[in-house]
Chain A
Amino acid sequence: MVVTFPHMGNIYLAVKALFDDLDIDYIIPPPNTKASLQKGSFYSPEEICLPFKLFMGNIIQAIESGADTVLITGSCGPCRFGEYSELASIVLREMGHDLDFIVLDLSKDVGVDGFLRRISKITRDVPMSRTQKVRTVLNAAALMAKIDQLEARAHILAGYEKNAGDCKRILHQALARGLECVGSEEIGEAISAAQNEIERIPIDLEKDPLRVAIIGEIYTVIEPFSNLYIEDLFMDYGVCVKRHMTPSWWLRDLVMKPLKLNSLDLRRSSREYLPLYIGGHGRECVGEAVKAWQEGMDGAIQILPMGCMPEIVAKAILPQIQNDKDFPILTLIVDEMTGREGYITRIEAFLDMLKKRRERYRGGSFSTGILSGINSKRHGYNRSVRKKYGEM
């Protein structure tokens, strides 16, 4: 049995750590590129959303290198993601591949027994006690959280770095080093080293970088290829980026869901505009927008794949938030095209606009209300960066 799994951001590192620790054969598909997109979209229905096309590309490339078992997450959820595993298995069977599909689904939908039965397909031959296996899974989850922390830190410090490119370099080097390591311990050490390194880069606290929240559909915000590397672009621009959706957020949300304790903060912040779950992460997107405003961010960018129903609902609500809170939100719709120029034009114009707004608020003509709110929050934010460095 050789297991493979589709890409989504840096998840491959945590899954690699898990399979290394369990001593299971696996193949990590090559990172998403034009080639994988071409392969994937050739075998996908034309109107399906972008994540499916990339997902197919990953699986097909992994099969070419010898994978025979596909591990994916599933959902009976009310968006097209629920269809992915079925559709993929049918298409791949028709292509003549004999594959085992292991669909990890919510225990709510398939029952605890079903969930364990599906997992045991992979783990039954592993000579470990059940406790050991559970510990391994927890280690991998902890590693994922660590990677997400490093990434989030790099995206914020990129706005303050004195030597342009430090944060981006450290982040990408750490991820590349992680791929060469074996097991959660080694990968964890590589990430820890990068965490230490990134806290020691020279930073300029006098800089007052723009701060933008990335919100929207979970796959397209997390997988950099699908959003044309928007976060790398912002690191180059020296703009701080905050993204609420991460693989570890998703895991936490999944675990807490049966207890109804998942994403309480987003439920609270979305209540005014969308008080119910509409499938996908539509409600979360609205909640993130409001939360970004509460945190005093300069603006938010929503990213969604063309045709994503939950995000289209959220997209229709965002202009209302924009008006009510005087909080700029830009929507970018991604699909198969790889030409970045159109996106860069919009993103640059959006950043110019945010800069101009700040100048106007600072100019004093809008000295009450909004200004004081933004400034106090911004200072609070700077303080948190400073505290970390013991300079205040």
Chain B
Amino acid sequence: MFVQKGYSLGIDVGSVSTNLVLVDDSGNLHYKLYLRTGGRPIEALIEGLGQLSENLLPGDRITAVGTTGSGRRLAGAMVNADVVKNEITAHAAAASAVAPDVKTIIEIGGQDSKIIFLQEGVPCDFAMNTVCAAGTGSFIDRQAARLGIPIAEFGSYALRSDSPVRIAGRCAVFAESDMIHKQQTGHSVEDIIAGLCEALVRNYLNNLAKGKRILEPVLFQGGVAANVGIAAAFERLLGVSLIIPKYFDVMGAYGAALLAHEAVVANGGTSKFAGLDCIKQDFSARSIDCNGCANMCEVVCIYSGNKKLASWGDRCGKHGKQ
């Protein structure tokens, strides 16, 4: 059904990173791109698509597009995606493609963390952090910056520790004040970082894995999987060995690409994709407080120039009509 060199494009617009992948129709990852969103998802996506088109050969075609992440609807409207999927389903799809027998997925991203349980490749339970961002990438980022350590080296500091200090991991605010306190009493940076990694893992397990049985094989993915200190803390506290997939940082985008491919095949093989030239358009997002009724919905409209591409947030659906 697919012409040669047809790729599925997966886009994951998260709070911290915007990731793009190209996947060929046998599911191999051909190209990946990891960019910082920097609070500007539209710009990040345009930048990403620009870089991607420079890396495509003349004969390459994009035959399916899927978006995921917290900015999935925005991205979906911009590129006219075939599939707009939540990140839990996308991560589960990616993980079971990488390791078909996976039973538990630990995913820690920039602003959220989740745990997904699977039975025979089908998600049977999941949990996502609810009220607190302690233990996610942003918090680790912030602490690394505070200690003046590059984030890439943060985890290796933890591995050099002999006796991790005890840090309260329940809440990011408590954890930070605990850390400062331990610092001032003279503990080494290594011990503090190792203690922080353990605290964050404890927080994760108490919050998300509460009352659930973690069965092997366990996959660890999301940006934080790059942190060897956190991975080691998981292995120590759970007593299992983690599998960190090769493309752990773009698994959401990978899953979106797989789901898009599946959907396009099921629909007869034609993609709705707007084409890579879509980045030449002048995209903007405007939010309005609709005063049409007492609900006063916050409506977001995505425009290309003066043309409304999509809108959401209204209860009655009148803004959705073009």
Contact = CB atoms under 8 A, between A and B. Distances in A.
A100 B49 CA distance: 64
B202 to A, nearest CB: 19
Interface string B100-119: 00000000000010000000
Nearest to A365: B120
A33 B128 contact: no
B84 to A, nearest CB: 10
A338 B123 CA distance: 28
Contacts of B112: 342
Residue of B120, B125, B298 most packed against chain A (CB within 10 A):
B125
A31 B88 CA distance: 34
A243 B18 CA distance: 39
A34 B89 CA distance: 31
A268 interface: no
A328 B130 contact: no
Given A341-B70, A349-B88, A352-B86, A357 B124 contact: yes
Contacts of A232: 315
Nearest to A354: B123
Interface string A356-392: 1101100001000000000000000000000000000
A199 interface: no
Q: How large is the interface on B (under 10, 10 to 19, 20 to 34, 35 or more residues)?
A: 20 to 34
A359 B124 CA distance: 13
A322 interface: yes
A352 B84 CA distance: 12
A319 interface: yes
B274 interface: no
B131 interface: yes
A356 B294 contact: no
Nearest to A348: B86
B87 A345 contact: yes
B273 interface: no
A316 interface: yes
Nearest to A344: B86
A353 B124 contact: yes
B296 interface: yes
Contact of B122 (A34, A319, A322, A356): A356
Given A345-B128, A357-B124, A352 B294 contact: no
Contacts of A322: 125
A307 B211 CA distance: 19
A311 to B, nearest CB: 14
A199 to B, nearest CB: 24
A346 interface: yes
Nearest to A320: B211
A175 interface: no
Contacts of A345: 70, 86-88, 128
A328 B130 CA distance: 18
Contacts of A277: none
Nearest to A36: B294
A229 interface: yes
Which applies to chain B's interface (DSSP): helix, strand, loop or mixed?
Answer: loop
Given A316-B211, A341-B70, A31 B294 contact: yes
Interface string A316-329: 10010010000010
A306 interface: yes
B124 A328 contact: yes
A219 to B, nearest CB: 19
B108 to A, nearest CB: 16
A168 B34 CA distance: 42
Interface centre among B70, B212, B294 (most CB of A within 10 A): B294
Nearest to A340: B313
A30 B294 contact: yes
A34 B125 contact: no
Contacts of B53: none
Residue among B70, B86, B87, B112 having the largest count of chain A Cβ atoms under 10 Å: B86
Nearest to A347: B86
Nearest to B129: A342
A350 B70 CA distance: 16
B128 A319 contact: no
A340 to B, nearest CB: 8
A35 interface: yes
Contact of B120 (A30, A316, A360): A360
Interface in A183-223: none
A345 B128 CA distance: 10
A264 B128 CA distance: 35
B162 to A, nearest CB: 37
Interface in B264-307: 294-296, 298
A255 interface: no
Contact of B130 (A333, A353, A356): A333
Given A33-B295, A33-B296, A319-B211, A348 B124 contact: no
A356 B120 CA distance: 11
Given A33-B294, A306-B131, A333-B131, A328 B88 contact: no
Contact of B89 (A33, A348, A360): A348
A337 to B, nearest CB: 10
B125 A328 contact: yes
A333 B130 CA distance: 8
Greatest chain B CB density within 10 A among A33, A333, A365 is at: A33
B157 interface: no
Contacts of A353: 89, 122-126
A346 B122 contact: no
Nearest to B130: A333
Contacts of B125: 322, 328, 353
Nearest to B112: A342
Nearest to A352: B89
A212 to B, nearest CB: 15
A357 B122 contact: yes
B32 to A, nearest CB: 23
A138 to B, nearest CB: 31
Nearest to A339: B298
A30 to B, nearest CB: 6
A94 B120 CA distance: 60
User: Which 3 A-B pairs rank lowest in CB-CB distance, beginning with the nearest?
Assistant: A349-B88, A352-B89, A348-B86
22 contacts: A30-B294, A229-B315, A316-B211, A319-B211, A328-B125, A333-B130, A333-B131, A338-B298, A342-B112, A342-B128, A345-B86, A345-B88, A346-B88, A346-B128, A349-B87, A349-B88, A352-B85, A352-B89, A352-B123, A353-B123, A353-B126, A360-B120
